[in-house]
Structures are given as C-alpha cells and as structure tokens.
Amino acid sequence: MTNTRPRLRAASSRSPAIADRIAALDPENDYEEIARLLYAYEFSWDIERALEFALFRTYAVPSISGLLAKTGEFETRPRKRYDDTELILAETIEHGLDSPRGRRSIARMNAMHGRFRIDNADMLYVLSTFICEPIRWLDRFGRRRMTENEQRAWFLYYRGLGERMKIRDIPDQLAELMHWNQEYEAVNFQFSESNRRIAEITRDLLLGFYLPRWLIWAGRPAVRAFLDRPLLESMGFRPAPAWLRRLALAALRTRASVLRQLPLRRSPRLLTQVPRPTYPEGYRIEELGTFRSAEAPSKEPAG
C-alpha cells in the first residue's frame, strides 16, 4: 500500500509568500513547520541537490564508506539504497518527527543502524551534513540565503531527528556544529578504496537521473566540478578542468538570478510522491532499507 499525503496545502494566489509565512513563525517552537516549508516550497530543488552532494562528503570518511561497502547494498542495489534513505528522511520531514509515520520511519532507520557498531562521531557527522550542506549550498547558489531564523529552525529540526536516533553530544548552537563539522573533516577525510568505490557508484546513479546510460561518462567531470580538493583527494578523483568548474559554478549562479525574477512555487514538492521504479506500486515504511537475512518486514497494512 502506498503512503498517504502529509498535510501540506498548495499556496493560493492570495496567501503571503512562503518566506513571509515562515517569518511569522517562531523557530524555537515551530521549527518543524519551518523546515517543512523550506523543504517542500522555498528551496525544494536546492535542498535536494545539496543533500545529494552531502552524500559524497560522508563517503570521504573510510569508517563510513567501509561500512557501506561491507553491506554490499550500494554495489548490488544502489537505486534502492538511495530511494530508501531519501524516503525515510522525507517521511519524517513531511509528516513530522512524532507523527505516526515519522515515528515508524525513525524506528526503521534505528533498526538498520542498530545492526552495526557505528561510532557516535560518525553518526553525528552524517547528521551535521544534513544541516550544514543545504545552508552552504544556498549561500553559494540559492536565489537567496536562509535567514537566521530559517537556519535556526533547520538546525533544530535535524537536532530533534538526531536525538530520536540516539546520537549523543549534538551541539546546542548551529555555529558550534558548523565548526565541529569542519574539524571532523580535517581529521577524518582520508583516501581509501571504499571511499572511491562508493562515491563512483553514487556519482553514476545520480547522473543516471539526468542522462542516458551511454552519456554518463560525459557528466562525471561536471560532478567533480562541485567537489572541493580535500573531498576529491579523499576519493581519488581528479579535479575537473578549471574552465569546466568556472562554467558549472556560473551556470548555477545564473540560475539563481533567473529564479529571483520568476514566480515562487505555489504547490509543495514532496519526495514521498515522486514516482520511483524501485517501488512502482508504492512502498511501506517497514519494508524500506536493509534487513538481516533472517529478518522479514512486517506484513501489517500501512497506515
């Protein structure tokens, strides 16, 4: 049975801009609603792209990429692994951390992680990329930056998710987390073969969303154009040609300028509603992700 739609309404022509609706909310108390509006309306495309590139940063850490390689999921079923991760995260932000579907999604994620001995710092780093990378992406390529209140709400939403994932030592302030994120990368970005292998699989998977299989090779340098040198070195990737890097960055900045002149989104973009070949007839939360060979997903109908 497929998922149900969250309670997000299309913005009418008479309603204030989403940014104005967000500005009227309190980030300390309404952070889930603010994060949902940022994700589904205000920056839907940018946040999705930022989180895709955030994946590459997690693969630059051998202890993280090594665990992913060990499961074999990325090499045998990369599209399903990607879809499952995106759907679990989308379920929580679209429905709410403590909604029935949000709780089920977090429980499914915790069950997967609970099968392995994962260092808390590695878990915290992955969480930090979900927070930091969209903010940094919008600083560089967005039609506008996140406001301080939006950044605070985005941070509080993911801190709430991290607490429900039992991640310890999450900083109380965004600036502190940003600093911790950079220090962690400086120490832990190191080359390993698992980094390269997982990054190559993910790179080609993402390019396959936009290019036919026979043209994927042509898109690989464009991906490298958006990766910084420590990230490239940790995965054994050659830098993109300087001219291509300049062109790619200029293209996104031009896009931002054009978007400032266009009407804003009036209907939400929900990743749980995107058609996926992995789940042509819909999905059940309890069937997402990986399982031990002896485990079987619950067959109770989805709510």
pLDDT confidence band for 19 (50 / 70 / 90): confident
Distance from C-alpha of 32 to C-alpha of 153, rounded to nearest angstrom: 7
pLDDT confidence band for 289 (50 / 70 / 90): confident
pLDDT confidence band for 114 (50 / 70 / 90): confident
Other CB atoms within 10 A of residue 268 CB: 20
Predicted local distance difference test score (pLDDT) of residue 292: 67
Average pLDDT, the chain: 90
pLDDT greater than 70 at residue 200: yes
What angle separates helix 216-224 from helix 193-207, to the nearest 10 degrees? 120
Which of 116, 64, 120, 109 lies closest to 85 in space, CA to CA?
Answer: 109
Give the pair of three-digit tokens for residue 57: 């940063």
Other CB atoms within 10 A of residue 239 CB: 15
pLDDT greater than 80 at residue 4: no
Q: How far is CA 254 from CA 47, 140, 143, 226, in A?
A: 18, 11, 10, 16
Other CB atoms within 10 A of residue 44 CB: 16
Instruction: Answer whether 13's CB lies under 8 Å from 136's CB.
Output: no
Q: Which of 13-22, 98-107, 238-247, 288-297 has the lowest mean pLDDT?
A: 288-297
- Give the helix/strand (H/E) hosting 197: helix 193-207
Distance from C-alpha of 286 to C-alpha of 108, rounded to nearest angstrom: 6
3-state secondary structure of 289: coil
pLDDT greater than 50 at residue 11: no
Q: Which of 8-22, 53-67, 106-120, 156-170 has the lowest mean pLDDT?
A: 8-22
Predicted local distance difference test score (pLDDT) of residue 74: 75
> What is the arithmetic mean of pLDDT over 208-234?
94
pLDDT greater than 90 at residue 293: no
State the Cα torsion 286-290-295-297 to the nearest 10°.
20
pLDDT confidence band for 290 (50 / 70 / 90): confident
pTM: 0.90
pLDDT confidence band for 301 (50 / 70 / 90): very low
Other CB atoms within 10 A of residue 227 CB: 22
Predicted local distance difference test score (pLDDT) of residue 243: 97
Q: What is the pLDDT of residues 53-111, one digit of tens each?
A: 998 999 999 999 998 888 777 778 889 989 999 999 999 999 999 999 999 999 999 99
pLDDT greater than 90 at residue 2: no
Distance from C-alpha of 136 to C-alpha of 183, rounded to nearest angstrom: 16
Specify burial of residue 257 (Cβ count, 10 A radius: 0-12, 13-18, 19+): exposed
Higher pLDDT, 181 or 289: 181
Distance from C-alpha of 42 to C-alpha of 131, rounded to nearest angstrom: 16
Other CB atoms within 10 A of residue 164 CB: 17
Q: Which amino acid is at 215?
A: L
pLDDT confidence band for 225 (50 / 70 / 90): very high
Distance from C-alpha of 245 to C-alpha of 238, rounded to nearest angstrom: 12
Predicted local distance difference test score (pLDDT) of residue 8: 57
